[in-house]
């Protein structure tokens, strides 16, 4: 996500116990967290570069942030409570705005097609239909998952087929090799089950996550962990 909502009063009060260095590192970390859609590996060297400090200084700051419950490390990934809230809320807003734009352009396209038809001009709508459906391949394949994980499609669906066909295809379209995609999906399925995995992958595709493997891995870990640690 390339933007997020920040509240100055909450930030200043929440970071009152941090030093200037710790506050700056925490801010850079939060920005990086949002940019990567929450898929931030707990890599000291990388995070030190993100926070613009030495690796030694970052390890000191990291310890302070963890002890102060500003961040948590879950299965090799950084987790931050408030950033997760913003990803959820701002992500919905971003999606709604994108959907509005897509709907507006779809209406313009439909009007253009209708005008061409009324003028008895041959129109090839197959390519347009194919393009429109491609952007929601996973969501449609899973029956357009509704809140609560219910499938809106009336047709029976084989969950395993959805996972190793449509979900795999989605990962491959993001640059993951077929064998790796199958291995990852199998591992994730064993952790959260077929229904939840399909929901997670569909959500990643809906959000247009730039690095879906890390994001899905973090989402799977969050669903299999118990409890959450508060932050600012």
For the cut 60, the answer to whether the pLDDT of residue 188 exceeds it is: yes
Q: Rounded distance, CA 204 to CA 143, Å?
A: 16
Query: Greater confidence, 2 or 64?
Result: 64
pTM assigned to the model: 0.47
Domain ranges of the chain: 1-122, 136-224
Does domain 1-122 match CATH 3.60.150.10? no
Which tens digits make up the pLDDT trace of 64-120?
A: 999 999 999 988 899 999 998 888 887 664 455 455 555 666 666 666 666 665 555
């Amino acid at each position: 996500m390339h933007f997020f909502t920040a509240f100055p009063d909450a930030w200043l009060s929440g970071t009152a116990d941090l030093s200037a260095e710790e506050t700056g590192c925490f801010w850079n970390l939060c920005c990086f967290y949002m940019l990567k859609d929450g898929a931030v590996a707990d890599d000291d060297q990388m995070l030190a570069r993100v926070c613009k400090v030495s690796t030694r200084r970052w390890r000191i700051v990291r310890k302070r942030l963890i002890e102060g419950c500003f961040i948590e490390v879950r299965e090799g990934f950084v987790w931050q409570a408030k950033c997760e809230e913003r990803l959820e809320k701002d992500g919905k807003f971003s999606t709604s705005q994108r959907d509005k734009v897509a709907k507006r352009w779809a209406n313009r396209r439909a009007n253009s097609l209708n005008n061409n038809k009324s003028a008895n001009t041959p129109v090839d709508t197959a390519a347009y239909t194919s393009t429109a459906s491609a952007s929601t391949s996973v969501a449609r394949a899973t029956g357009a998952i509704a809140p609560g994980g219910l499938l809106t499609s009336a047709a029976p669906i084989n969950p395993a087929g959805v996972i190793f066909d449509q979900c795999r295809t989605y990962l491959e379209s993001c640059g993951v090799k077929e064998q790796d995609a199958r291995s990852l999906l199998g591992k994730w399925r064993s952790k959260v089950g077929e229904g939840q995995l399909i929901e997670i992958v569909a959500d990643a595709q809906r959000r247009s996550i730039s690095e879906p493997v890390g994001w899905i891995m973090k989402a799977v870990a969050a669903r299999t962990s118990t409890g959450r640690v508060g932050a600012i």
